Structure 1
Amino acid sequence: MTSKDPLAGAELTYLLGISFQLLVTEFDRRLGELGYTDLRPVHGFVFQLLKNGGLTGTELAEHLGVTKQAAGQTVAYLEDRGYVSREEHPGGGRRRLVVLTDRAREHLRVAGRVMRELESTLPGGEALRVDLAAVVRSLAGTALPPLRPVW
């Protein structure tokens, strides 16, 4: 008696979700081998949100889909490890901008290299990227929503 393939007939959302989970786990493992054992995948989402400029804690919470308190804890964790700093907001007032430090930017360079290496091992290569981008565009158009790690 042969066993049935558990992925045969699986829903697309399940396949996308499990693929994402496996990819992030392997990516995190590889980064850990390079010494980045103090970062979790959610920190990568924060870095992606901040890489083009700073955000307030409230904006960060909104993009991550978490409470301001949870975002504040994440910022404090990253700040304690030298990955982010808080700067005065150009608009003044009590607001502060969370910005990446040079240490975080170096991590982004390393992480980008690791992700490209990992992606090169995946079946489908660039065609997979093109197909997934087409799926995103068909559902979201040009107004891409933030990726919220809250599932």
Structure 2
Amino acid sequence: MLLGEFTRRLAAAGQSDLRPVHGMAFQALRGPGATATELAERLGVTKQAAGQLVDELEKRGYVRRAPHPGGGRRKLVVLTPAATEHLDVAGRVLHGLEAELGTRADLPALRRELSHLIGALHGDDGLPPLRPVW
């Protein structure tokens, strides 16, 4: 229900051409970018699935392949301004939803409990890879 409302509001804000997995990929590529193999590891998907996702996002103008700073044949997948704009809009939509939910629930307490749960299930090595469901 919450994901559906988030998606509906993104569409209303002019961001209807992307699915939640695209936003997950954008989060994983933030900053200096990553190789397709690194993206696959971060999302918890196969290299082939990550490669297809990169191809799709590149065709839509959300990412571009750049030479890897380490040289060689590897390519770095980096976000374009269109992806950054999407992240900005999605962030505003998410903050609006959180503000609305905050009137009905103690979100800081929920975040703490979820963090404890993730730590108990995954250990203290940080967050597990994102695992999109499609």
The higher-RCO structure (CA 8 Å, 6+ apart) is 2
* Contact 1:55–1:99 (Cα < 8 Å) also in 2: yes
Rg comparison, structure with higher value: 1
Instruction: Give % identity.
Output: 62
60, 66, 69: which is aligned to 1:81? Answer: 60
Where does 1:1-150 land on structure 2 (aligned, <5 Å)? 22-122=1-101, 123-143=105-125, 144-150=127-133
Q: Which consecutive residues of structure 2, in runs of 5 or more, have no partner in the other structure?
A: none
Unaligned stretches of 5+ in structure 1?
Answer: 1-21
Return the letter of the residue paired with 1:138.
A
Count of residue correspondences: 130
TM-aligned CA deviation for residue 36 of structure 1: 0.9
What's the CA shift for 1:141?
Answer: 3.7
- Give, in angstroms, the shift of residue 42 of structure 1: 0.3
Contact 1:85 1:100 in 2 (8 A): yes
* C-alpha RMSD of matched pairs (Å): 1.6
TM-score after normalising by structure 2: 0.87
